[in-house]
Chains A and B, each alone.
Chain A
Amino acid sequence: MTKDLQAVPAIELRGIGKRFPGVIANHDIDITITSGTIHALVGENGAGKSTLMKILYGVQKPDSGTIAVNGHQVSLSSPSDAIAIGVGMVFQHFMLADNFTVLENVVLGAEKIAGIGDDARNRIRQISDDYGFDLDPDDLVEDLGVGERQRVEILKVLYRGAKIIILDEPTAVLVPQEVDALFDNLRELKDQGHTLIFISHKLDEVLSVADDITVIRKGTTVASVKPAEVNARQLAELMVGSVLPSPSTEGSTVTDKVLLEVIDLELDDATGRPELVDIDFAIHAGEILGIAGVEGNGQTELVETIIGMRRQARGTIMLAGEEISEWSTRRRRETGVGYIPEDRHRHGLLLDAPLWENRILGHQTRPPSVKGPFLNPPGAKADTGRIVSAYDVRTPGITTTARALSGGNQQKFIVGREMSSDPILLIASHPTRGVDVGAQAAIWGHIKRARKAGLAVLLISADLDELIGLSDTIKVILRGKLVATFDPQSVTPQQLGSAMTGADAISEERS
């Protein structure tokens, strides 16, 4: 049945460009998506995938280029335009009201289609049965698991009549079995004539489910391939270009001096449910410990516990031989903890404050920013100037607000700031997430120099190549536990990937 449709592509993007102030998000994007296929769009974090999909879904308007859907050129100025022509989107973060039922969530905003009563209920049952979603319209969303919620999101889109469905990183929040179930659902949808656009940076998944793959790098399309023609390694190289980080060639600088030691650390959430279990590790001076894991498996909690923003339920944290378990965040930072936060906008910067005031953040008690109880603006400004030039922060000046800088320059500034005041431990959470390639290379260089200078570095990243390239040791975190340790010299992304998803351990654990 898909044969005749193939003549007209479901979506054709030609020459799409989009600029944000200070950033070119997309340029010269060309993609052809065949009807009735699963088309994967891969690229690194920050390569421009999400912006592109927002353009296709009408959230943002492109500055240049054309969009054709089923052969007709369209101009989308809002998501409702997209829905009207049969394009739907399932966002990475679910937009569901927890205390509503599935039915209520689905009909919310789409009451015109079949009302809110039995018509709608039957329709939802019908869709659920057709595609094997196994959803009851009257279940409360708060009682559903993550996978089921995702199916509700997909059902919402189908209910609104979408034939083309965009899924933004749908597997980021799923456990492996749920991923498999999702893929079954996607194949079912494809078989019934839907076109699916699947955004991901997880290559093994892409290779297993996609019919076509388009690679996006630095905001533009660099390749279109078939899964059969490439392997994961080749795909990865296409994604990052030729500048794949080479594993540290400078040789080991690891000493036997333990700087950070975490012993039997456990963290509970407000309801007493464990978030971190039996965490044990040590980082030596000159060592980079990489933590690999699917997002949401405890990385954030681990960092926040070490930095003192959350208090452990049990266990000990030692820094340079001193127990710091009960210390305040400030005292820990004063002792020499540099912190590159996962979300720099929320945790690393005062966006509306000038750069030189941001220099003080996190260093409120240490020179050159302060003198006694008073701030020292001249000192802070001078040191901001030093960071700007030493770390190549592209900014018109030190009075520019942090918000005005691009992500890469914000991050370089943060790295420079955190390397000030002689830290002994550097915690780097996703240090190159959402930054441009130039900044990425620079930040890697800075982390390597920190290691060489004898710091202990805790590196958390979702980018396996980054982890393999930089770390001296890699540990894998899964559901709040450190489940495996690898030597980056010998490990492959595939091995890491299966440890991260618990593929080795699933049989025992989930019996």
Chain B
Amino acid sequence: MSRWMRLGLPVAAVVLALVFSGVVATLVLLFTGDDVVGFWRVLFTWPSERDLVDIINMTAILYLSGAAAAIGFRMNLFNIGVEGQYRLAGLFAGAFAAQGLLPGKLNVAAAILVAMAVGALWAGIAGVLRVWRGVSEVISTIMLNAIAGSLIGFLLVKWGESTGNARNTKMMPEDSWTGFFRLFPDVSDGAYHLSLLAPLVGIAFFILVYYTRFGFDLRAAGASESAAVSSGVSVKKMIVVSMLLSGAVAGLIGVPMMFSEAHQYGSAFQTGLGFTGIAVALLGRNHPMGIAFGALIFAFLGQQANLLNILAGVSPDIVNMTQGIIVLSVVIAFEVIRRLATRIEQRQVATQLDAERQGDTALKGASA
């Protein structure tokens, strides 16, 4: 199978899936009697500089969330608990940073480690339950999400303070605030300093999965658990380790925004990112590059949803729905091309070998 086909088929699949989603969204808009022209005009308007900054930041955040989910997916572990893991991690990191135990950026670094540790531990509970008692990680992580929410409420009351009607952790010392990379002279904000965590995680993820023994074991266990076990992979260990890794990355999700914007954990802390990350990972086929692409699409659509609401009068629900359709159609498209590619490859092998063996009458038995 040519290199062209290997690269071209997935791209074609994504493009087709996007076009298909657009068609469905248009039909829905027509059906509901919304402003179709306005929808597409707003959607395809090049974002303002301010919006571009927001899109970049959101892409970084969604990348972290997608990567967290993808690490689990790589070995067929469905960590639905990214949501609870990053929120709890955000609370602990915020509360820790507010103590100001360490000076300046050292405090930030330590808070990041706290966030990763808390995320990892919270996810690790699900991993251990799965290995030790066979509890499905889907169920346990969903339960852990609910527990995390209540725990956050409790801890915010204990540790937090009220600002108006909001309750937040204490403000962190100013020397621990991280700033922005100014991208445009006219926009006061820029990319969060800590959004750099996203490319760092991406590179680490890429190397880990494709260039390490651990990554090979992870992929093997995901592709065929039985083959992995025969090859000597301890699936139990892999489950726990990959849940820990997934949770550690999840812990980072809330960090960039918190340190650059709110400087405290509280009511303004964005929720729901963990669930979006699942969709982003699916969209990106759990591949470090694909996730970046998925994160960008979701960040872009999320940003445009707001504008659509105001400028075209289209409900944000439509955009949410479109995001869902994109995920579904990308997944289906990839399954279709996977089968297509297999068939093409088998045919190529057969033709090539048949040609080689012209005259050779040896025939193969059916193993089908």
Contacts and interface: CB of A to CB of B under 8 A. Distances in A.
State yes or no: do A and B touch (Cβ within 8 Å): yes
B292 to A, nearest CB: 23
Given A27-B363, A396-B352, A434-B367, A361 B231 contact: yes
A175 to B, nearest CB: 28
B216 interface: yes
A304 to B, nearest CB: 9
B365 A375 contact: no
A341 B350 CA distance: 25
Contacts of A408: 364, 367
Interface stretch (A207-215, A223-231, A256-264, A398-406): A398-406
B348 interface: yes
A21 B347 contact: yes
Contacts of A400: 1, 345, 349
Interface residues of B, number: 40
Given A22-B353, A396-B349, A403-B346, A48 B230 contact: no
Contacts of A308: 232
A353 B220 CA distance: 9
Given A21-B347, A348-B227, A373-B212, A394 B363 contact: no
A361 B367 contact: no
A12 interface: no
A406 B227 contact: no
Contact of B216 (A23, A25, A328, A375): A375
B231 A362 contact: yes
Given A347-B227, A362-B231, A374-B213, A407 B363 contact: no
B343 A21 contact: yes
Interface string B197-240: 00000000000001111111101100110110111111000000
Given A361-B220, A370-B213, A404 B366 contact: no
Among A25, A352, A361, A362, chain B packs the most CB atoms within 10 A around the CB of A361
Given A309-B230, A375-B213, A394-B356, A436 B345 contact: no
A349 interface: yes
Contacts of A436: 362-365
A401 B363 contact: no
B368 interface: yes
A314 interface: no
B315 interface: no
B363 A51 contact: no
Contacts of A403: 342, 345-346
Contacts of B1: 400
A91 to B, nearest CB: 15
A3 interface: no
A348 to B, nearest CB: 7
Contacts of B233: 329-330, 364
Contacts of A47: 365-366
A48 B366 contact: yes
Among A44, A50, A350, A438, chain B packs the most CB atoms within 10 A around the CB of A350
Contacts of B348: 396, 404
A349 B227 contact: yes
A350 B224 CA distance: 6
Interface in B90-148: none
A405 B350 CA distance: 8
Given A329-B230, A330-B233, A438-B362, A407 B353 contact: no
Contacts of A347: 226-227, 229-230
Interface in A293-314: 307-309
A330 B230 contact: no
Interface in A19-49: 20-27, 44-48
Contacts of A20: 366, 368
Interface string A377-403: 100000000000000001110001101
14 contacts: A21-B350, A23-B365, A25-B368, A219-B364, A329-B232, A329-B234, A346-B226, A352-B342, A357-B216, A364-B220, A394-B353, A403-B342, A408-B367, A437-B362
Interface of B: 1, 210-217, 219-220, 223-224, 226-227, 229-234, 338, 342-343, 345-350, 352-353, 356, 362-368
Given A346-B224, A375-B212, 4 more contacts: A332-B232, A351-B224, A375-B215, A404-B348
